[in-house]
């Protein structure tokens, strides 16, 4: 279910709230974002407290500017009221109505179905609210759990991108997943 909090969309699921970032999210992010399990498969440098703070500030600034085409959500667990991760939907092409999605959750919350719930909310937002025709997701070839989540949300494995990103000095392969809007088939 989509709601709006200020000018930023808010996605509600039974156990999660995907919302815009708030100032008080930084303390939660400094806990989960620095855990090696979270960034094991994510490109970019090894996170530091300073990089996490810079990411948080960039999200707050982007929201304030009302950037469209790139939605970064804080993922909040309803029962605790704590931020447990991030979710992103980016428009890749407005001409072709294509977007990409990604979800990263605190490793303490894994294996509870929350990743699938967050991804399903992004899919609903992309198709029902943004009218996209297609969504894609890239998953590290060794990240089997995230591959299962994508498949559980209806994404089809479309191919392997060989050495498409450099993970802290090591070239990595990604599995490309795609999902078409069922209302537009």
Global pTM reads 0.90
pLDDT tens, 96-136? 999 999 999 998 999 999 999 999 999 999 999 999 999 99
User: By the 8 A CB rule, do 156 and 147 touch?
Assistant: no
HSE-up (13 A, CA, CB side) for residue 81? 1
How far is residue 124's CA from residue 58's CA, in Å, rounded to a whole number? Answer: 25
What local confidence, expressed as pLDDT, does residue 77 receive? 96
pLDDT tens, 57-103? 999 988 888 766 789 999 999 999 999 999 999 999 989 999 999 99
pLDDT band at 3 (very low <50, low <70, confident <90, very high): very low
What local confidence, expressed as pLDDT, does residue 2 receive? 45
Residue of 70, 75, 79 whose CA lies nearest to 106: 75
How far is residue 74's CA from residue 87's CA, in Å, rounded to a whole number? Answer: 7
């Amino acid at each position: 279910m989509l709601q709006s909090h200020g000018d930023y969309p808010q996605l509600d699921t039974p156990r999660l709230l995907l919302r815009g970032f708030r100032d008080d999210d930084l303390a939660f992010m400094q806990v989960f974002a620095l855990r090696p399990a979270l960034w094991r498969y994510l490109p970019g440098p090894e996170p530091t407290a300073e990089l996490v703070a810079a990411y948080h500030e960039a999200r707050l600034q982007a929201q304030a500017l009302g950037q469209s085409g790139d939605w970064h959500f804080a993922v909040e667990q309803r029962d605790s009221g704590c931020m447990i991760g991030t979710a992103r939907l980016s428009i890749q092409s407005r001409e072709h109505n294509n977007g990409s999605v990604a979800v990263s959750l605190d490793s303490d919350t894994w294996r509870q179905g929350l990743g699938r719930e967050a991804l399903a909310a992004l899919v609903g937002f992309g198709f029902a609210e943004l009218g996209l025709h297609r969504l894609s997701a890239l998953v590290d070839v060794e990240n089997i759990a995230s591959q299962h989540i994508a498949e559980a949300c209806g994404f089809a494995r479309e191919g392997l991108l060989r050495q498409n990103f450099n993970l802290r000095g090591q070239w990595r392969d990604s599995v490309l997943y795609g999902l078409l809007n069922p209302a537009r088939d």
